[in-house]
Amino acid sequence: MTDELSSLLSPNYKLWLEHDGEYVFGPGAYAILVSIDEEGTITKGAEALGMSYRYAWGVIKKIEKKLGFPLLETFKGGTVGGGGAIVTEKGKQLMEMFVRVKTELDHVIQNK
Amino acid sequence: MTDELSSLLSPNYKLWLEHDGEYVFGPGAYAILVSIDEEGTITKGAEALGMSYRYAWGVIKKIEKKLGFPLLETFKGGTVGGGGAIVTEKGKQLMEMFVRVKTELDHVIQNK
């Protein structure tokens, strides 16, 4: 009977990081940072996720405000390229913390 | 630096059970079944969670419709007591499946 249920239903979850019980960083923000890191600019990173620059930037700014440190460093380009954005060291560490927990939770979920 | 982040942020999650990618059973419904199981009637079980009978019943009915089997069995009382509700065998198995996964996820989260 339990096997019947296990074949009917599969577990899923949402992970986030919080501070004093307040939501700070979740899968949406993580995806934005990954995409910016891959694409090299906020505009292209947002675009690759079907988001506006304004939305993606807003998500990141909100987290930076809560954490008190920048997740992105933006710079102006030279004559070619037009600048870009990179994820800061602390931003990378935040991503790593999220992935580390997510990997372990995925492991539990996939063995169900 | 990662240690700094770990002391600043703690992971949290929401678990649910789904069928074909559709949400079926989560922590709210689980709490309702636990409460009804403890209190012995839907009214008292809902009340203990600060919910209306109507709301709690609606949550359970929706899941029963998706799963195709009853989670609760209600019965009329005799001269004393006024009837009640018990969680069905399949309902118990659903609760067990949820708790089994939740316990493992909690274990991961608490060791962060």
pLDDT tens, position by position, B28-86: 999 999 999 999 999 999 999 999 999 999 999 999 999 999 999 998 866 655 679 99
Residue A1 in domain: no
Residue A111: pLDDT band (50, 70, 90) is confident
Residue A52 in domain: yes
> Residue B83: its pLDDT value, please?
78
Residue A9 in domain: no
- Non-local (6+) Cβ contacts of A53 within 8 A are A42, A43, A46, A47
pLDDT tens digits, residue range B3-27?
A: 788 889 999 999 999 999 999 999 9
> Residue B78: its pLDDT value, please?
60
Q: CA of A67, closest CA in chain B: separation in Å? A: 8
Residue B40 in domain: yes
> Residue A2: its pLDDT value, please?
56
**What number is the average pLDDT over the span B74-101?**
87
* B44: CATH: 1.10.10.10
Residue B51 in domain: yes
> Residue A62: its pLDDT value, please?
97
Indicate yes or no: CB of A15 within 8 angstroms of CB of B16.
Answer: no
Please identify among residues 78-107 of chain A the ones whose CB lies closer than 8 Å to any CB of chain B. 89-90, 93-94, 96-97, 101, 104-105
CB-CB neighbours of B36 under 10 Å: 28
ipTM at complex level: 0.89
Indicate yes or no: CB of B11 within 8 angstroms of CB of A108.
Answer: no
Assess whether pLDDT exceeds 80 at residue A103.
yes
Q: CA of A11, closest CA in chain B: separation in Å? A: 4
Question: What b/e sequence results for B16-30 when a residue is b if at least 16 CB atoms lie within 10 Å of its CB, and e otherwise?
Answer: bbeeeeeebbbeebb
Residue B3 in domain: no
Q: What is the residue range of B80's domain?
A: 19-110
Q: CA of B33, closest CA in chain A: separation in Å? A: 17
- The CA angle A39-A43-A44, to the nearest 5 degrees, is 30
Residue with token string 């065998």: B89
Distance between CA A78 and CA A95 in Å, rounded? 29
Indicate yes or no: CB of B19 within 8 angstroms of CB of A10.
Answer: yes
Strand partners of residue B16: A12
Chain A residues inside the 8 Å CB shell of B24: 9
The H or E element that residue B60 is part of is: helix B53-67
Residue B10 in domain: no
Indicate yes or no: CB of B18 within 8 angstroms of CB of A25.
Answer: no
Number of structural domains (chain A) is 1
> Residue B9: its pLDDT value, please?
96
Check CB contact of B16 with chain A, cutoff 8 Å.
yes
Distance between CA B16 and CA A56 in Å, rounded? 27
Residue A69: pLDDT band (50, 70, 90) is very high
Residue B12 in domain: no
Assess whether pLDDT exceeds 70 at residue A79.
no
Distance between CA B16 and CA A101 in Å, rounded? 18
Chain A residues inside the 8 Å CB shell of B9: 17-19, 24-25, 94, 97
**What number is the average pLDDT over the span A74-81?**
71
